[in-house]
Amino acid sequence: MAKTRSIKPSVQDVQAFVQVRKALVREMEWNDRPSNLLPRWKQFESHCHVGTKVPEEVKFRAHYRPAFVRRDGEAVTNILEAFWISIGIREHRVLASDTTLDGQGHNNPVIPGMPFSGQRITNLSHFHVWTAFGDKYVEPIEPTLLTLDAAIANFCNRVNLQLKGDFRHPLYGKSYDLL
């Protein structure tokens, strides 16, 4: 039997959702995201208290890839860290913040009334805004969010979300070879 997709939330539903106070159910505990690639992305996921309830359909996600060096023969490339934070309703990522320090851009769809409609956004940090087109529309974040803790703080402020406990970096307590 084919899996059916749930109905997308409306723009008005998401705007109302942002106004409601939310809090994470779990403290930050990062895990390796399943992958054969190195370095592995780290991930943290938690359901959220929304008002006085903990609906199964609302989930916070944060993903982090540390900086690393890629070697290909004599070529050496420094790959900068990357991270994204999101909150979803059912399987729809309704609000998200991305920072890719390698300069990838986003092409926005044409959406009447949106300030960056049809534009290419090249800012290193950007915020995905839910529209009738889903999460494909982004707005630049200035200044660039250069650290994961700054990105999570910015995201939590934008979506009215409180962490449970203190922010804990996914590399906390890890040591790496210097050579």
Residues 6+ apart with CB under 8 A from 30: 42, 43, 44, 64, 168, 170
The answer on pLDDT for 12 being more than 70 is yes
User: Beta partners for 50?
Assistant: 22, 53
Which residue reads 């922010």 in tokens? 167
159: its two tokens? 């979506």
pLDDT in tens, 82-131: 999 999 999 999 999 999 876 678 899 999 999 999 999 999 999 999 99
**Eight-state DSSP code of residue 122:** -
H or E segment and range at residue 156 = helix 148-159
Domain-by-domain residue ranges, the chain?
Answer: 11-164
pLDDT in tens, 23-82: 999 999 999 988 777 788 999 999 999 989 999 999 999 999 988 888 889 999 888 889
Alpha carbons 23 and 137: distance in angstroms, whole number: 25
User: Beta partners for 93?
Assistant: 88
Hey, what amino acid is at 132? A
